[in-house]
Structure 1
């Protein structure tokens, strides 16, 4: 059972013991961030700092000016949290410690781009703009995401990549000091609040025979019970109950087609630029209407496009079952477990969680996150991986 842990460059650079410590966990691979969103991260063992503040979404290597020349949308360079070729420096140290290194690329999650280019953002049914969520239906945004996927994924020495947020973003995954938890939205409310009504999406709805203004009004009416605290329980069925099955199906048809075509284009572009044997995985949720870092996908479709998926299993490994058996040939089905106790992880139960994941079809394990976890968490991870062999 191959295990990999997620790592940031700032976990490694400046700490001469970091790479060996990560390899000592018993993992064979490090999934190292090469393009990442804004964050504030703890570094509990680093000899120089304890908190790293990444002020905006950035690539963690030198921006290739020639590649991006003449483009309106282009990646931002990192600040002092990841200077120079931070990714390359960390990748070299991890490789010298005996680890395979794969890139970790965050795509459709960029607050700075949304603030500087306001037209790129998702716009909800009330006209509110989500600057952290680029709309993937827009041609300029799609071109930017595909080019970023290629550049950030295919870094020197990398054996593969994991593409995060390659699909629809919306209200999920928080923004700055988040204050949206006062009303429980449920899956249905979250979907409705994540529907986009930017010009590109309005055109898309019209192509399906919908009136965009009437659809906006219908979404607002559908959300009224949610604001009263009466959101229906359930998953997609709850969306259909609030919006009506016909309209709900139409919105999903538009969004699914946009996401699928972007995933096909981006994975194809990365594959064309990568050396033979380069592995391409997507962070994915098996329900295509879901939004966020683990984008909603159709399991059979995405396994016909990519080499596999990384599936969030913080709430249990059951989502793996939707992917198992969907691939025509051998594919990676990686169960992603949070092992940071302070973030709700269960490092002490990793062995039993992995065993259950294997029963559901998992072929690999991902551990989130070696840089954020305490010494006690890492000790439990090391013990569990040793038992798993």
Structure 2
């Protein structure tokens, strides 16, 4: 199976051994961050540092000023964690080591945007804003994300891209010093807490025959037993919100996400050379929010060249995509190989085999820069056995 490892530019820059180390794992490709959210990242082998703090979401190259001139919403340049064309310098080193390089582009996840432009953020049924989550129903946000996708994906020498967070973002987010686990929120409650009530979404609900204030009140009412600890964690959305409101909100949100995904892929391809591969990080449950955007499997495989699917918890999410029998589509199982982040590099071979049995035809390894030496040794041994 073709295998790619995720990396940040700072994993490579300033470390003359980094590119060869990754190539020696036995991967064929690196998916290298070109536009990324804020993070604090460990660099366990770097000769100059051990921690990199990316203070805000940024592009990790020099953005095209002509494209963004005069626009209120535009990507942010990185600070000292990724100076200049950090992506390009790292990509060149990886290519020199014989690795194919694809871009890794994070879209609808940007807390700096929410801080500078609060009106762009998702607003929940209680009126709370989520500054990390740009609302993808807003025309200005959509224009930013589509143009960012086109620019960040098509870096010189890149053979393809993987678009992360190309859909709705919601409540779930590892924010600074999170204190949100006091009440266990099941899948349905996460959905209700992720419904947006900004002006654009209110207009969207109205277009589907829903009065936004009445919907918000219904959401708050549906969540009352959750806050009281009286709702089963596995209660479905319809159980909490009712069949009609559930169906209508899902219809609006699914259509909004689908059209954004179509526009982003179209923009990337319009700017890309022939043969450029476009994948989405995707979850087969359409109402799910986050880095792996909820999608309709049949639709997304008709739009993109394939998907990267979260499989650390098991390979089951691959199956709905495989059932579409979309010839030539990439179905990449994304497996965490960092023990400290819940991964299991020692069972990589078995995990890959289970994913392949359900239809996966490629692997993604998260994350070669964050893993310990012991974890990387286990990954290399597993990949050598896979051939």
Taking structure 2 as the reference length, the TM-score comes to 0.99
The CA deviation string for residues 119-141 of structure 1, in whole angstroms up to 9 with x for no partner, is: 10000000000000000000000
C-alpha distance in 1 between matches for 2:224 and 2:325: 41
C-alpha distance in 1 between matches for 2:126 and 2:100: 46
Q: Out of 349, 358, 361, which is 2:359 matched to?
A: 361
Displacement, 1:160? 0.1
Q: Is the deviation greater in 224-233 or in 288-297?
A: 224-233
Matched, 1:349 2:350: no
Residue aligning to 1:21: 21
Per the alignment, in what secondary structure is the counterpart of residue 11 of structure 2?
helix
Per the alignment, in what secondary structure is the counterpart of residue 147 of structure 1?
helix
Matched, 1:119 2:123: no
Displacement, 1:177? 1.2
C-alpha distance in 2 between matches for 1:352 and 1:155: 35
C-alpha distance in 2 between matches for 1:346 and 1:125: 38
Consecutive unaligned residues in structure 1, runs of 5 or more: none
The CA deviation string for residues 158-189 of structure 1, in whole angstroms up to 9 with x for no partner, is: 00000000000011122111110111001011
C-alpha distance in 1 between matches for 2:176 and 2:107: 18
Displacement, 1:70? 1.5
C-alpha distance in 2 between matches for 1:194 and 1:274: 34
Taking structure 1 as the reference length, the TM-score comes to 0.99
C-alpha distance in 1 between matches for 2:92 and 2:230: 53
The CA deviation string for residues 198-244 of structure 1, in whole angstroms up to 9 with x for no partner, is: 0000000001111100000000000001101233343xx61110000
C-alpha distance in 2 between matches for 1:380 and 1:158: 28
Per the alignment, in what secondary structure is the counterpart of residue 308 of structure 2?
strand
Residue aligning to 1:149: 149
Written as runs of structure 1 = structure 2, the 5 A alignment for 1:275-290 is 275-290=273-288
Count of residue pairs the alignment pairs up: 387
Aligned-pair Cα RMSD in Å: 0.7
Displacement, 1:327? 4.3
C-alpha distance in 1 between matches for 2:74 and 2:109: 13
C-alpha distance in 2 between matches for 1:335 and 1:310: 6
Written as runs of structure 1 = structure 2, the 5 A alignment for 1:233-382 is 233-234=233-234, 238-382=236-380
Is the Cα–Cα contact under 8 Å of residues 281 and 306 in structure 1 kept in the other structure? yes
Matched, 1:12 2:12: yes
Residue aligning to 1:41: 41
Per the alignment, in what secondary structure is the counterpart of residue 291 of structure 1?
coil
Is the Cα–Cα contact under 8 Å of residues 184 and 233 in structure 2 kept in the other structure? no
C-alpha distance in 2 between matches for 1:215 and 1:18: 52
C-alpha distance in 1 between matches for 2:385 and 2:45: 25
C-alpha distance in 1 between matches for 2:323 and 2:268: 25
C-alpha distance in 2 between matches for 1:320 and 1:371: 25
Matched, 1:136 2:122: no
Is the Cα–Cα contact under 8 Å of residues 189 and 223 in structure 1 kept in the other structure? yes
Displacement, 1:314? 1.0
Displacement, 1:328? 3.5
Is the Cα–Cα contact under 8 Å of residues 40 and 51 in structure 1 kept in the other structure? yes
Q: Is the deviation greater in 253-262 or in 61-70?
A: 61-70
C-alpha distance in 1 between matches for 2:259 and 2:195: 18
The CA deviation string for residues 326-377 of structure 1, in whole angstroms up to 9 with x for no partner, is: 1442100000000000000000000000001110000100000000000000
Residue aligning to 1:104: 104
The CA deviation string for residues 228-262 of structure 1, in whole angstroms up to 9 with x for no partner, is: 1233343xx61110000110111000000000000
C-alpha distance in 1 between matches for 2:42 and 2:298: 37
Consecutive unaligned residues in structure 2, runs of 5 or more: none
